[in-house]
Amino acid sequence: MKNKSARITIFAVCVLLGFLLMLQVKSVKIHKQEDSIPTRTEQLTELLIDEQERNAQLTLQLDQYKAENERFKKEMQESGGEATVLLEKLARAEILSGHRAVQGRGITVTLSDSTAKNNAIDENAFVVHDTDLLRVINELRAAGAEAISLNGERILATSEIRCAGPVVSINNRRYNIPFVIAAIGDPDVMETALKMRGGIIDELNTFEIYTEIVKHENIVIDALRHDVIFSYAKPVEEE
């Protein structure tokens, strides 16, 4: 009887040990799998490093382009004659492409969220959106603005202005309020275009969004901070 009881006890202990061993092996496998899967933080860190490296390469490439451009300018100045006309065309092309800082008379338009948004049922109606910024910029262009920047970012045909969560992405850089739009052109014409009845400023004031327009005798708009790379658009070869 004692031997039978002892055998049952040993069998039970063996089963328990086997079960515990199985759990241990399974736990080790799970930990190995978890270790092999990168965490969200690691993924974001890798993406950030890749983006920083890409920006550094683009900045280096832009500096090289600028150095070559200055060398060409110097050679053209030294050659004289027809080169003067080419220099003028080059300067115009640099302004149009945003690769040269410009200055002149103009206005600044500052937009910021309404303070009433905290008491509103729909807070989205009381904050500045990318569509609001685009409408202001379009009005300025229609009013003859020759150069425009948004929070210091030069605005060109290739510039993107879009919502990115609680901020707005401009030329792939993120900005929060306040948004300051600078435009070079006739200050009176641009101000009138923005303040016309039923226009964009009128609409924004309905939702108590902060707007301020200031005229300036001289505004400096910086050059584009990155180079525009064309991967698909190629110049048409003339016959």
pLDDT at 17: 57
The pLDDT value given to residue 185? 95
Confidence (pLDDT) at 173: 86
Report, in angstroms and rounded to the nearest whole number, the Rg of the chain calculated over CA atoms. 31
101-123 mean pLDDT: 84
> Can you give the pLDDT at residue 36?
46
pLDDT at 16: 59
- Give the dihedral sign, CA 33/35/40/45: negative
What's the confidence (pLDDT) of residue 144?
A: 92
Torsion angle of the four alpha carbons 140, 97, 59, 178, in this order, in degrees rounded to the nearest 10: 0
Assess contact for 180 and 210: CB atoms under 8 A: no
49 or 17, which is more confident: 49
Q: What is the DSSP string of 89-127?
A: HHHHHHHHHT-S-EEEEEEEEEEE--GGGGG-SSGGGGS
| pLDDT for 50 | 67
CATH of 101-221, one of 1.10.1040.10, 3.30.70.1880, 1.10.10.10, 3.20.20.220: 3.30.70.1880
* 123 vs 220, residue with greater confidence: 220
Q: What are φ and ψ of residue 153, in 5° steps?
A: -90, 125
pLDDT > 90 fraction of the chain, expressed in percent and rounded: 31
Rounded to an integer, the average pLDDT of 91-101 is: 74
177-213: pLDDT as tens digits: 999 999 999 999 999 999 999 889 999 998 889 999 9
pLDDT score of 149: 95
Residue 21 has pLDDT above 80, yes or no: no
Average pLDDT over residues 43-65: 68
Q: Is the pLDDT of residue 161 over 80?
A: yes
Pick the more confident residue, 10 or 60.
60
